[in-house]
Amino acid sequence: MPTCPALFIAAPASGQGKTTVTAALARLHARQGRRVQVFKCGPDFLDPMIHAAASGQPCYNLDLGMCGAADGAWRLARAAADNDLILVEGVMGIFDGEPSGADIARRFGIPVLAMIAADAMAQTFGAVALGLARYQPDLPFAGVLANRVAGPGHAALLEKSLPPGMNWYGALPRAAATRLPERHLGLFQAAEIADLDERLERLADVLADALADTRAADLPPPVDFAAAFAPAIPPRLAGRTIAIARDAAYGFIYPANLETLTALGARLFFFSPLAGEDLPACDAVWLPGGYPELHAPALARKRRFWADLKAHVAAGKPLLAECGGMMGLFEALRDKEGQSHAMGGLLSGETRMQARLAALGTQTLDLPEGRISGHTFHYAYAETPLAPALTAVKPDGSPGEAIYRQGRLTASFLHLYFPACPDAVAGLFGA
């Protein structure tokens, strides 16, 4: 049974600073020479990029809906065997969603460090902390950390408000300089933050001062994780090269997806359409999601890339395009200012950005190649005469995202989680 110190960083709501604190903890321990594995609850892409930069190794998703309990069990067991510390960042409020972050913490026995933004409260802090600790009696609870605290006096007031026996993990000061920049889908991608390393170092410094002489100054107690092993994956893509777009426009890639492709035997070749790199010689192409709307003028000028992609599909070779990757395949992309930009023209119609969220949540897709789960989160919508070849299904059984297929081209707003069905992935990218 693998054993490793572990903490689940949670909060009563979104926007409390979970990502900042988790990244700071990861950097603080990593620079002390410890090997830190970070997990992110939910199907997020952006927070894991920050955690990977903070810890020095890939951050994996932990989600009972999209990923499944078995996937989480073996990844946690592997992490416990190979690391000195496991950190799990929760999603939204700890009890929000079905399943919730609390469900994950309970299932795997990871103690919860409740982080509460205290910038607009005093003694009520203790009531919120008590509610988080006791709302579900079987929740493993480590203690509480205050964020956005005005000063030492405020911190003392917050600590005094806690019920007897509740562990105090310290207070972080209100400091805008240590916050991470955000846009409409969440944080900036790690590669877009030029001073990210300096920010992480400052965060770690602030956290070290805040945690001095508290229970969080050293490693948390060890957690026993059940023994579990990665499933065997036959190398059905052996000998095949998959070209993967990866840059500021196409950056939403689960590390677990890359692991799955490698386990299937594929050779992975990364290239940047945004930088003007040619489509490499390959057997299949993957255009992940990202921010094509922010780079639409530049992408519109990449006529050679779009022509090569058309020729690739016309030759009967596979192309998987997810969300932002699909948006470039239509004839045009209309940005939120209403400007239209010519795109690849592999699909009829255009995609348009809008101010309100168009879709959010886990969905399941029954492909001829197999059933696979995924997630959708986008502000764009498609105006197209094309009829969907398939439709994904939401957890309640209602219709989800449209799936467009033309030859070996498969496109939708859905981000697929490849480990959910390696056989389906092999079918999508295979000969």
* Active-site annotation, residues: 323
Helix (H) or strand (E) holding 325: helix 324-327
By DSSP bridging, strand 241-245 and strand 222-224 are unpaired
Q: Which two tokens stand for residue 120?
A: 């607009």
Identify whether the C-beta of residue 345 lies closer than 8 Å to the C-beta of residue 273. no
Identify whether the C-beta of residue 20 lies closer than 8 Å to the C-beta of residue 179. yes
Per-residue 3-state assignment (H helix, E strand, C coil) for 191-225: HHCCCHHHHHHHHHHHHHHHHCCCHHHCCCCEEEC
Identify whether the C-beta of residue 287 lies closer than 8 Å to the C-beta of residue 326. yes
Q: Which two tokens stand for residue 209?
A: 């001062």
Closest by CA position to 27, among listed 216, 157, 202, 268: 202
DSSP 252: B
Identify whether the C-beta of residue 254 lies closer than 8 Å to the C-beta of residue 420. no
C-alpha 414: how far from chain center: 14
Q: What 3-state class would DSSP assign to 424?
A: helix
Q: Which two tokens stand for residue 267?
A: 């050779």
Helices assigned H by DSSP within 141-272: 152-160, 196-211, 255-263
CA angle 422, 424, 428 (to 5 degrees): 115
What is the rounded CA–CA span in Å between residue 340 and residue 352? 9
What is the rounded CA–CA span in Å between residue 11 and residue 158? 16
Identify whether the C-beta of residue 242 lies closer than 8 Å to the C-beta of residue 320. no
What is the rounded CA–CA span in Å between residue 378 and residue 359? 6
